[in-house]
Amino acid sequence: MADIALPDTPALVQERPDRTRVLSRLRLTNASFRTLTLAAAILVLVILGGVIVALIEGSLPALRQFGFSFVVTESWNPVTEKFGALAPIYGTLVTSAIAMLIAVPFGLLIAVFLTELCPMWLRRPVGIAIELLAGIPSIIYGIWGLFVFAPFLQHTLQPFLIDLFGPIPVLSTLFAGPPYGIGILTAGLILAIMVLPFITSISRDVFEAVPPVLKEAAYGLGCTTWEVVRHVVIPFARVGVTGGVMLGLGRALGETMAVTFVIGNAHRISGSLLAPGTTISASIANEFTEALGDLYTSSLVALGLILFVITFIVLAIARYMLMRIERRIG
């Protein structure tokens, strides 16, 4: 039996244009939102590309003059215009390594305490204190490190380390005196204090995201708190923990003002962690305003390019590790 076409009522005739206008407005809004987000993403790439081009262009005179020897030479003499980046590279890597060796275990322990062992009345004050540490400006850390922390180390920790490891052949060189107070070890300790809040806060958040049913099941099987943390909490949250550690490492590599105050700013490589040294960011901050001549300025820009490459390599390795962890998890 053939369908009988019903005549359009006035209500249906009025509803069709309204629905068409609504759909057109939604399509326009969706297209505008997509365009806006695409433009924001492209803008990030453009800014990054501009930074890379500016660093390469500014460092070309120094790279043409010194070549690969710029990376493996220790001397830094603005008078004779002989520049080498080995000492700042060494100081950057060593201070960051000291900071991470101290901050990572302490940060994870604090995060475990806050999520698994801390009484409820104490969690909020400790959490707020950790977040306040992250908000302190770096120059405040530098002033405190120079006038309070460095004299304390000079009279207590550094003489103790010199006396303790003096008879041991390798460690005697690593902790050789005299105790200056400032130096690579002091800078590493200051960096550890600065990156500790980032590692702790991110680790605490990912530990709290672990489903309670997993921990309750482990406790129900008779596991201790240590076993629950080791076999349940940390494996479940290892992706987030790795991201927090790499975020802290990026902060340690690029920190400027706090390190400048306490590292001693000496362009030389010493076998002792107690001796003064320098980092890439500290060298740039100290000397950029005093740089005379194109070669001197270009050498400082080349230091910035090297720091950018080091940071990029670290982040690339971190991303690769996260991809492997995620693939293993499935």
* 220 assigned to some structural domain: yes
* 156 assigned to some structural domain: yes
Instruction: Supply the DSSP string of 136-197, one letter for each residue.
Output: S-HHHHHHHIIIIIHHHHHHTHHHHHHHHHTTSHHHHHHT-S---S-SHHHHHHHHHHHHHH
* 189 assigned to some structural domain: yes
Task: Look at the chain and count its residues.
Answer: 330
Does residue 43 surpass a pLDDT of 90? yes
* 222 assigned to some structural domain: yes
With residues binned 3-state (H G I as helix, E B as strand, rest as coil), the percentages for the chain, rounded to 5, are 80, 0, 20
118: domain range?
A: 93-275
Q: What is the pLDDT of residue 305?
A: 93
CA distance 248 to 246: 5
Q: What is the pLDDT of residue 1?
A: 45
Average pLDDT, the chain: 87
Does residue 106 surpass a pLDDT of 90? yes
Q: What is the pLDDT of residue 219?
A: 87
Q: What is the pLDDT of residue 95?
A: 94
What is the total count of domains within the chain? 1
CATH assignment at residue 228: 1.10.3720.10
Q: How confident is the model at residue 191 (pLDDT cuts 50, 70, 90)?
A: very high
Instruction: Supply the DSSP string of 198-237, one letter for each residue.
Output: HHHHHHHHHHHTS-HHHHHHHHHTT--HHHHIIIIIHHHT
Q: What is the CA radius of gyration of the chain?
A: 28
* 181 assigned to some structural domain: yes
* 125 assigned to some structural domain: yes
CA distance 266 to 191: 18
Q: Per-residue pLDDT tens for 263-279? A: 988 888 888 899 999 99
* 41 assigned to some structural domain: no
CA distance 113 to 123: 9
* 83 assigned to some structural domain: no
The whole-number average pLDDT for the span 275-302 is 89
Does residue 86 surpass a pLDDT of 80? yes
